[in-house]
Chains A and B, each alone.
Chain A
């Protein structure tokens, strides 16, 4: 089968969905098909230009393509008789972000007209789709709430699970990934000040802005925990990153209201490491289960400090939770071969 993966692009900005599309392509090829990616440029500013971008996606003609897998608005509006959607997101500023007042759509009649144009086109697209998969529970629920369409959750697999081999615990808690306020690495540093002096913390990843990095360094200074925390604030290559995960006693992932499992938690579970999270971390709680696969604390420093103490209380218990996290993750069978198969069916 000749399979075209259709995705948006923001010129000169590479996002997570781009690497998803690349891995999907490779895995469709491994499954014995031909695959190619169509990236359609999308400009959403000013918002009054959005209808032209929708028309553009709608006006392209595809020939010699047997199956389309489309991921984002407005690229998914492309016409094809056999189109499966793997919905990463809709134009949220016309839906939940509109309701929350975070939208670039203008106020008044013009804004509500634009919103209706987007919704009508989406509805027609969803009606015509062969199947609809959503990247997360949140995306699925949003689609049901705003457009009234059912979908099946199909989470994005890890791209390089083989490097998360696990290994002996070297006595530190690892918090990886992008560093910013919403990912709340600062909360871990604050917890450290309340935790036993045996607890070691490693924070590794690129700060979103230099201010994010400075803030974290200042917090460490202010609390005087320099001897117990290591800040490796830069872009880590995948093997460096995996080495931190594989040597950790536990891995922390406490983003605020995350949509997905979060890659950090998925990678920890793959490496059989228990997961530390917080009760308001949203999707992460699908993998982080208190007392089973790790610990879920209230989102404050004191509660997290107690969890940190627990990690060190029994190495055996901590190891067991890690093995359980791995089993939990594997139970979902979120792998690229299974994902490619679902999207081609």
Chain B
């Protein structure tokens, strides 16, 4: 089948939004399909939205048997066999309207843009022959704002067999970008409250170097230099697999994310449980408290208790890791299932 994968992109900005497209591309090619990947630029400035949306309407992919659309506003591209794998709305106009992240005034003009955007999105989504999302959270939003039903189709990671269980040391790892909203600082503050000698390793690149410095400062302030490693760089995939293979458990505590996050899935493939917080969003769709991981209120003392539990009850920790691995199959997170649904 000739399949066009369509998404918007920001030139020179990489991230998970490209992974889902490119990993699907690799899986489709492996399954013998012809694939064309189409990334078109989009800038989210309210005044510039509609002319760019017109551009998406002019994209002619009639040479494809089917198109699969990801990041907004690629779902506006017309096609008789349009499948949408919806990963998020233009959130400032949707769920983030009443939040500090809106970035423009709540006035008649912007309300007008918002209402027209909602109407356009709804109409374009009605053109689709199938709509999938990357999480229950996003499906709920589609229902709430656009009154559209959709099926969560959880994005797998690429070549998951790279992540294997090898041993259990006394280290909790958190491997993702160092960002304030990923809250690595909370993990350091928690460690200061721990009663066991459990250790912490934070790996990732900071978009804002100030945040990495702040983390270093926190480590020094609490006198934790001998128990925390802050590895401020982009570690290789091999290094990552090694660290996870030998760790005690993983931690992933972002603020209200849409999806469970690739770090969660990487740990689960390696049969390691994941520590998260009640307000982390999508991780809660994957992690079941005391089964596939631990869920704490977002406070240092509560998180510390979980970290101590991982260390103290190693048998239980090990069993939770196995349960995290089973959770992947329970939620049918895998490329064969994804291909079956997207090509149905």
Interface 9-mer from B4-12, B179-187, B204-212, B324-332: B4-12
Chain A residue with minimal CB distance to B4? Answer: A11
A62 touches B55 (CB 8 A): no
Expressed in whole angstroms, the Cα–Cα distance for A229 and B103 within the complex equals 72
Expressed in whole angstroms, the Cα–Cα distance for A38 and B37 within the complex equals 11
B residues near A38, Cβ cutoff 8 Å? 11, 39-41
B42 touches A64 (CB 8 A): no
Let me know if B299 is at the binding interface, CB within 8 A. Answer: no
Interface string of B229-242 (1 = CB under 8 A from A): 00000000000000
B64 touches A11 (CB 8 A): yes
On whether A41 and B11 interact (CB within 8 A), knowing A59-B51, A60-B55, the answer reads: no
Let me know if B167 is at the binding interface, CB within 8 A. Answer: no
Interface string of B34-55 (1 = CB under 8 A from A): 1010111111010010011011
Nearest-CB distance from A10 to chain B (Å)? 8
Interface 9-mer from A48-56, A185-193, A294-302: A48-56
A2 touches B54 (CB 8 A): no
A residues near B2, Cβ cutoff 8 Å? 11-12
Secondary structure call for the A interface: mixed
A24-49 interface with B by 8 A CB criterion: 34, 36, 38-41, 43, 49
Let me know if A99 is at the binding interface, CB within 8 A. Answer: no
Let me know if B59 is at the binding interface, CB within 8 A. Answer: yes
Nearest-CB distance from B32 to chain A (Å)? 15
Most buried by B among A2, A34, A64: A64
A53 touches B58 (CB 8 A): yes
A residues near B62, Cβ cutoff 8 Å? 43
A residues near B60, Cβ cutoff 8 Å? 41, 43, 49, 53
Expressed in whole angstroms, the Cα–Cα distance for A113 and B40 within the complex equals 29
Nearest-CB distance from B46 to chain A (Å)? 12
Expressed in whole angstroms, the Cα–Cα distance for A52 and B63 within the complex equals 17
Nearest-CB distance from B184 to chain A (Å)? 26
Let me know if A121 is at the binding interface, CB within 8 A. Answer: no
Let me know if A237 is at the binding interface, CB within 8 A. Answer: no
Expressed in whole angstroms, the Cα–Cα distance for A53 and B58 within the complex equals 6
**Among candidates B12, B36, B40, residue contacting A34 with C-beta atoms closer than 8 Å:** B12
Interface size class on chain A is 20 to 34
Let me know if A4 is at the binding interface, CB within 8 A. Answer: yes
Expressed in whole angstroms, the Cα–Cα distance for A43 and B61 within the complex equals 8
Expressed in whole angstroms, the Cα–Cα distance for A10 and B60 within the complex equals 10
Chain B residue with minimal CB distance to A13? Answer: B63
B residues near A55, Cβ cutoff 8 Å? 54-55, 58
On whether A11 and B13 interact (CB within 8 A), knowing A60-B52, A61-B43, the answer reads: no
Expressed in whole angstroms, the Cα–Cα distance for A49 and B58 within the complex equals 9
A residues near B42, Cβ cutoff 8 Å? 61
Expressed in whole angstroms, the Cα–Cα distance for A34 and B36 within the complex equals 23
Expressed in whole angstroms, the Cα–Cα distance for A64 and B2 within the complex equals 32
B residues near A117, Cβ cutoff 8 Å? none
On whether A2 and B12 interact (CB within 8 A), knowing A53-B60, A59-B52, A61-B48, the answer reads: yes
Interface string of A186-227 (1 = CB under 8 A from B): 000000000000000000000000000000000000000000
Expressed in whole angstroms, the Cα–Cα distance for A16 and B11 within the complex equals 23
A79-110 interface with B by 8 A CB criterion: none
Nearest-CB distance from A207 to chain B (Å)? 22
**Among candidates B12, B34, B40, B51, residue contacting A40 with C-beta atoms closer than 8 Å:** B40
B55 touches A56 (CB 8 A): yes
A61 touches B61 (CB 8 A): no
Nearest-CB distance from B316 to chain A (Å)? 47
Let me know if A20 is at the binding interface, CB within 8 A. Answer: no
Expressed in whole angstroms, the Cα–Cα distance for A59 and B51 within the complex equals 6
Nearest-CB distance from A36 to chain B (Å)? 5
B64 touches A12 (CB 8 A): yes
Nearest-CB distance from B168 to chain A (Å)? 41
Let me know if A162 is at the binding interface, CB within 8 A. Answer: no
A residues near B55, Cβ cutoff 8 Å? 55-57, 59-60
A153-202 interface with B by 8 A CB criterion: none
Nearest-CB distance from B222 to chain A (Å)? 38
A residues near B51, Cβ cutoff 8 Å? 59
Expressed in whole angstroms, the Cα–Cα distance for A9 and B63 within the complex equals 12
Most buried by B among A34, A53, A60: A60
B residues near A61, Cβ cutoff 8 Å? 41-43, 45, 48, 52
**Among candidates A2, A4, A12, A65, residue contacting B36 with C-beta atoms closer than 8 Å:** A12
Let me know if A63 is at the binding interface, CB within 8 A. Answer: yes
Sorted nearest first, the 5 A-B pairs with minimum C-beta distance are: A43-B60, A56-B58, A59-B55, A61-B43, A11-B63
A and B contact pairs by CB, cutoff 8 A, 27 listed: A2-B11, A2-B12, A9-B36, A11-B36, A11-B64, A12-B34, A12-B64, A34-B12, A36-B11, A38-B39, A38-B40, A40-B40, A49-B60, A53-B60, A55-B58, A59-B52, A59-B58, A60-B52, A60-B55, A61-B41, A61-B42, A61-B52, A62-B41, A64-B10, A64-B11, A64-B12, A65-B11
**17 more CB-based (< 8 A) A-B contacts, given A12-B64, A39-B39, A56-B59:** A4-B11, A11-B4, A12-B36, A34-B12, A41-B38, A53-B58, A53-B60, A55-B55, A56-B54, A59-B51, A59-B58, A61-B42, A61-B48, A62-B11, A63-B11, A63-B43, A65-B12
